[in-house]
Chains A and B, each alone.
Chain A
Amino acid sequence: MTAEGTESCVLSVQKLNISFGSRAVIRDLSFAVAGGEVLAIIGPNGSGKTVLLRALLHQAPYSGTVQWAGGAKLGYVPQSIAADRQLPLQVRDLLNAKARILKLPPAAVAEAAESVRLAPELLTTRIGVLSGGQFQKMLIAFALLGDPNVLLVDEPTASLDELAQEHVYELFEKLRAERHLTILLVSHDLSVVYQSATKVLCLSMDAPCWGAPRDILTPENLAAVYSAAPKFYQHMHHHNYAAHE
């Protein structure tokens, strides 16, 4: 762990420990995130990626230090919502609810919808009939309400087809540039990680690692981290090669 970027450090995590009951999921984890960075969090299933995000949001119990910079405003895009699709909720109902709780001006909802390119007619659509991509955009618009400067994003494309996936990642890229966001992104898609992350945090009980993508996403590292799932290594190797070309 170096002290690099301490001046513009947005998040500093020291000796973080998280456990489910008696099972330690994350042990003595330390890392830091500088302003404007895209930190990708990768790791096999069960390595604690989601619970790490929730701990950073102070929504899951942990021990250790999670220190956000004074001006940090967090927006959260959860992985999946087990919402009842039969609810008579429109997209607008949901966005308005957050806007009113945060006492934002009424224009904030339209503005958030616009910045994720959510078509105006979708605002009056019931959430139950949204496509996967539209639902994801709604969640991102929801997170953008209140003007966060840090986005914590959990597997944003897990349930999307490839086209919609690319669309969502382009959207994050656009938002990051427009709003000078710092992004913490949990992702399975190592090619996306390689292309868009400025830092990678690799969670694994035996070999956690943290650094620039080219240092972390080496075949040796990935083999160690994903030892239980070698196909990830091959997948990565392929993309890695393509990216270098």
Chain B
Amino acid sequence: MPLTSSPPGEIFGIVLALLFAVAAGLVGCFALMKRMLLASDVISHVALPGIAVALLLGFNPLLGGATTLLLGTLLIWQLQKQTGLATEAMIGVVFAGSLALGAALTPQEDLAEALFGRFQTLSLPSFLLGVAAVLLIVGTIFRFREQLLLALFSPELAAATRVKTSRLDLYFLLVFSLTVLVGLRFMGALLAGALVIIPATTARRLAGSVPQFLLVSCLASVTAVALGYAVTSLLPGRLGLGPVVAILSTLLFALSLLKRSV
């Protein structure tokens, strides 16, 4: 991370990373309540083969990641509609297969960055695109929060309240994938799901109502990213942003355990 990089680009990078943290915190709450952590992991790993192909062919890795993410999301959505056992088995296959394929295809020198992420400065257009994505994610979650809550309490009651649960699942998965995609460059393919899952789990231990849950999750997520950014700037060198943020998130979770038992 060159210290001489243009300040606006760096600020764009930080701001988008923090906005991403808010989106990840919100999305994570619903992912956790929907008990779809395994599916979440698969989604972030599915980006890897796309990134690899893009690197090999020399186009934007994010575009490659987005393509396989979208395909993976639709695949998982289809699988969700089928029987439980088949879904679980298929998710396992997709998970391992895409990680292996991505790791085998990605050029060796880019592998660590693709897997674990790196802080990046951003151009104005990339920044605006990222902000638009975050707004779309947060807006969608707020627009559908009641439907999501009902559907995860009881799909049957949600359907009786005229909530289209299958379509809602698809919206949620797309929003989830978009979140992973925005976080991909910072967190890397292996850990892009971490910021969705860990802060929400932390908040789950501390919150007693849904609004509290969402708020605490966002705070935990933003804190981890801000601290992670501080740590990697203070100790420049071989520390990837993804692992640092994931470790800090896990530490916050450990703290939440302490607080609970007191």
Collect the chain A residues with CB atoms within 8 Å of residue B209's CB: 88-90, 93, 124, 126
Residue B226 interfacial (CB < 8 Å): no
Residue A101 interfacial (CB < 8 Å): yes
Collect the chain B residues with CB atoms within 8 Å of residue A93's CB: 149, 209-210
| B residues contacting the other copy or chain, number (CB 8 A) | 24
Q: A88-B209, A126-B208 are in contact. Are A101 and B153 (CB under 8 A)?
A: no
Q: Chain A at the B interface: mostly helix, strand, loop or mixed?
A: mixed
Residue A163 interfacial (CB < 8 Å): no
Residue A100 interfacial (CB < 8 Å): yes
Complex CA distance for A89 and B162, rounded to whole angstroms: 21
Collect the chain B residues with CB atoms within 8 Å of residue A100's CB: 146
Q: Chain B at the A interface: mostly helix, strand, loop or mixed?
A: helix
Complex CA distance for A74 and B149, rounded to whole angstroms: 21
| A residues contacting the other copy or chain, number (CB 8 A) | 27
Collect the chain A residues with CB atoms within 8 Å of residue B149's CB: 89, 93-94, 97
Complex CA distance for A81 and B162, rounded to whole angstroms: 18
Complex CA distance for A90 and B159, rounded to whole angstroms: 20
Contacting A at CB under 8 A, from B120-163, are 145-147, 149-150, 152-154, 156-157, 159-163
A142/B207 in contact, CB under 8 A: no
Residue A162 interfacial (CB < 8 Å): no
Q: Could you list 8 A-B pairs, sorted by A, with CB under 8 Å?
A: A54-B156, A57-B159, A76-B156, A76-B157, A84-B33, A88-B207, A101-B162, A101-B163
Could you tell me which B residues sit within 8 Å of A by CB distance? 33, 35, 145-147, 149-150, 152-154, 156-157, 159-163, 204, 207-210, 212-213
